[in-house]
Chain A
């Protein structure tokens, strides 16, 4: 019997608002000393009360719209009650039965295979992040830091629509791209601004009933999610093969060993005793509010991809790469305002420029020195013969280092391409005069000799000779010699 995997993902993203969800402490806590980003409210002092950050609500609605969700006409908060040191109030303010968004979806596969698959999103809700428990080295104490306490989170819960670990990874990547387009979160698993728990079960193909669900936690990257799921599905398949029981439990992913481990078994689901948060009123979301927020949502990746194919005739591959990278897409589109050879733009962006971005270790193109105007100027200078493509590569390097414009760099380094016919013909004749053997080799059919001669000519001109002219003129001279 063939078994299929059924995967659902629960993603928590930290929103990039300036202040926490219920108090006015700054959200920039990364790298700070413990408990320096904390006030009486987010440390749960007696007598304090929450006030909702309007920007959190706005980003939640924006996210819901970008993920094709229904926005609740009325939403409210609830208390989730449990004891843990990183939870200062002894309850988390979250949303239970009236979440801000529901019934949305993400499309996968649009760019690559052309076979689209819809992954449903059950709900999105707002909640506050907890502090951090840091374990002491001797294992005797835990140190609690509330800097992260109160950071606004969105919890995004998918339907169990994914069937492979690769699909799960693709879902996460697509989600990240969309959220970066609407600029609500950094979505980095590495710095904790995106966290993911997976739910996975297996069942016979064709069976409608779901198998026993296992929750997987502690994955630290999208790739880690994929690998954890691969292991877990294998484990469950093995269990079924051996008639062993699959327990409904939570398992932690051990990255080093590449396996999942059972946590202390909880006999029954914990009783969180949810009840409506009495310190916060409900929120009515008007149709006007939704329209306004919708208007602020930029073109999203799926629409952008389709438009790139149509308007710019990009290949599906190029369109996919650019549309899934918001800063790159912005850069590309800006270039197209002033330069209409789109393929050339994408060649440079996806080639040398992307290479430089990786080398620079910046997060994306917008953090580097290169601007759309630089690229456009450079392409125009190539087109009008001022520089060669090879010289241009060097100019790209300089732009990244100095943020100068191509014209400034050319001027500073004296890079203007030599297109003076007389000058070039003299160098060619000089080179030919010094390399009789190569001439002979060429006449005798050794094509490589020509390349050697070109190299020597370029060396003499310090690479500045216009290659097109060099080639034309050298060929003409060689022909003359051949016919002699």
Chain B
């Protein structure tokens, strides 16, 4: 029950440029998965609290003490495109008009 249109919309949110074949394949595969997954739909879970994590330590905090940052060179060392100081990306277009 995930249509091809929905797959494309989701792919847009996830920044994936799927091919035609992929859209078709995923919509079939995911539909069949979701159908199988629908068994949890029948459960009445209104009174159950969700579990994000079964074992939680509450209130994990860190002291406000400065530690050295990494060097500029290290930070950009893996950049696909850089001018040595920044990460370079294609220009962002903000407004029309």
Contact = CB atoms under 8 A, between A and B. Distances in A.
A and B touch in the complex (CB under 8 A): yes
Interface of A: 17-19, 24-26, 33-40, 43, 51-55, 57, 83-85, 133-136, 139-146, 252, 261-264, 271, 273, 276, 278, 280-284
B86 A34 contact: yes
- The 6 A-B residue pairs whose C-beta atoms are closest, nearest first, are A143-B86, A54-B61, A55-B64, A24-B67, A144-B87, A51-B62
A252 B64 contact: no
Contacts of A278: 52-53
26 contacts: A19-B62, A19-B64, A19-B66, A19-B67, A24-B62, A24-B67, A26-B66, A35-B75, A35-B76, A36-B69, A38-B75, A40-B70, A51-B60, A55-B64, A85-B92, A135-B92, A136-B91, A142-B90, A144-B86, A144-B87, A262-B97, A264-B94, A264-B96, A278-B53, A282-B58, A283-B58
Given A19-B66, A24-B66, A57 B90 contact: no
A139 B86 CA distance: 16
Nearest to B86: A143
A355 B73 CA distance: 47
B48 interface: no
B91 A142 contact: yes
Contacts of A43: 75
Contacts of A252: 94-95
A267 to B, nearest CB: 12
Contact of A52 (B61, B71, B87, B89): B61
A285 to B, nearest CB: 9
A84 B92 CA distance: 9
B82 to A, nearest CB: 9
Contacts of A26: 66, 69
A85 B97 contact: no
Nearest to A281: B56
Contacts of A135: 91-92
A18 B62 CA distance: 12
Interface of B: 13, 15, 52-53, 56-67, 69-72, 75-76, 83, 85-97
A39 B59 contact: no
Contacts of A281: 53, 56-60
Contacts of B67: 19, 24-25, 39
A36 B52 CA distance: 35
A431 to B, nearest CB: 67
A263 B97 CA distance: 8
Contacts of B86: 34-35, 134, 143-145
A33 B84 CA distance: 11
B13 A19 contact: no
B64 A36 contact: no
Nearest to B15: A83
Nearest to A25: B69
A51 to B, nearest CB: 5
B66 to A, nearest CB: 5
B61 A263 contact: no
